[in-house]
Amino acid sequence: MNDVPEQVLPMEAVPLSIAGLGAGYGPDSPDVLRDFSIELQPGTITGLLGRNGSGKTTVMEVVLGLTFAGREGSVTMFGEGSQPPYWRREVSNRVGYVPQRFSGFGWLKVDACLALVSAHYDHWDYDLADRLRREWRLQNRRIGELPPGDRQKVAVLLAIGHRPDLLMLDEPVSSLDPSARRDFLAALVELNADQGQTVLLASHVTSDIERLATHIAILHRGRIACHAALDEIRDRLGVATLDTPPPLPPEKTFASHGNRYWIWDPHDGCLPANVRIEGTLLEDLFLAVTSK
């Protein structure tokens, strides 16, 4: 479509800012999130890591207004706050979301589904959607008859077809085969490179996050336990090959993996171990933070 309306919201606004968010399901239930705060800078890809049930999905659903679980705190998207974001057309046009499990449109064929959803957006990148469909070999069958992986591909197409400025992905590749996973991640990198898209990616696959993300956020016990640029973490996190563990204060954690050792401080985060960087660090860091 050529009649793209002028963006009302400033492009340079912070795509997503969450401050002191608390959430839980039901009045008597414990908090799923408490004092959850994070700010995503434009153009960054933030990998959100957390254990099962830690609240990754809740964060996304509360932020997007897909659930009423939010109890306190504030959410600001592109400088707009105080209301569920989906009430503002300007915000909706700039946000994409891939749920953990795609449901709906069971009897619709893929083409019809894409046509139905694309008709509601001010601008839809038909070339991108067609190209990804071809690359993913997505057949024009009824969505209810597609295997789960192909259904997830449809969800991804529906989320990125309007080229959103903020893309939130809730474990999007968990049901994709390795080939489709690689293609999807490549498309994500391309989108990010093309238009500086901001991405919040929740996943258990640390290797994917390590490959894609520019920033890492680890969610533990309802709040962000570690949030930093991946390069910064690499600089601060040390991996050493030592004969014996060094003596440590009791509040610090000494962790080992094989013959490698590193240190986690609950106040200062990852302490430099003054050694070279090698191997996969993110998984070790994740295990250290979430085992506390």
Partner 1 sequence: MRSAVVLRAVLGRWWQLVCFLPFVIYVVVLGGPAVANGIAVWLMGIAGWIAGVFAKDLGNWPNRPLVPGYSKTLFQMVLVCLLLIPLACGSLWTALGNPPPPFGPGLLWGTIMTLCVVRTAVSPAVLATNLAGIIGLGFYLIWAAKQAMHPVVFESLTDWRLQFPALALAALALFHIWRRLNAPLRATTRNFEAEGREPLYTKLYGLIAGLRARVWREVVVTLPLVALALLLVLLVRTGITTYHVWIVFVLACLVYSLARVVVRLATIHVPLRLLWLSGAAETRRSLGRECALAILMLGFGWLPAGLVGAAILALGMHQAAQFDGVLLVAFTTLLMIALFVGTGRRIPSTKGSLQLLAVGVFCGGLTITLIHGIELGWADRSAMVLVLAGLAVATWWAVARALARAEIVQ
Binding interface with partner 1 (CB under 8 A): 25-26, 28-30, 61, 64-69, 84, 86, 89, 92-93, 95-97, 99, 102-109, 112-113, 115-117, 119-122, 142, 144-145, 158-159
Query: Which residue lies nearer to partner 1 by CB, 121 or 229?
Result: 121
Please count the other Cβ atoms lying within 10 Å of the Cβ belonging to residue 191.
Answer: 20
CB of 142 to partner 1, least distance (A): 8
Angle at 285 between CA 181 and CA 245, to 5 degrees: 140
Structure tokens, 104: 């709906």
Distance CA 235, CA 43 (A): 21
Query: Which residue lies nearer to partner 1 by CB, 141 or 252?
Result: 141
Query: Which residue lies nearer to partner 1 by CB, 65 or 269?
Result: 65
CB of 245 to partner 1, least distance (A): 38
Q: Is residue 48 classed exposed, middle or buried when 0-12, 13-18 and 19+ CB atoms within 10 A define those classes?
A: buried
Q: Which of 105, 104, 120, 123 is nearest to 2 (CA)?
A: 123
CB of 60 to partner 1, least distance (A): 10
CB of 172 to partner 1, least distance (A): 13
Query: Which residue lies nearer to partner 1 by CB, 156 or 185?
Result: 156
Distance from chain centroid for Cα 119: 26
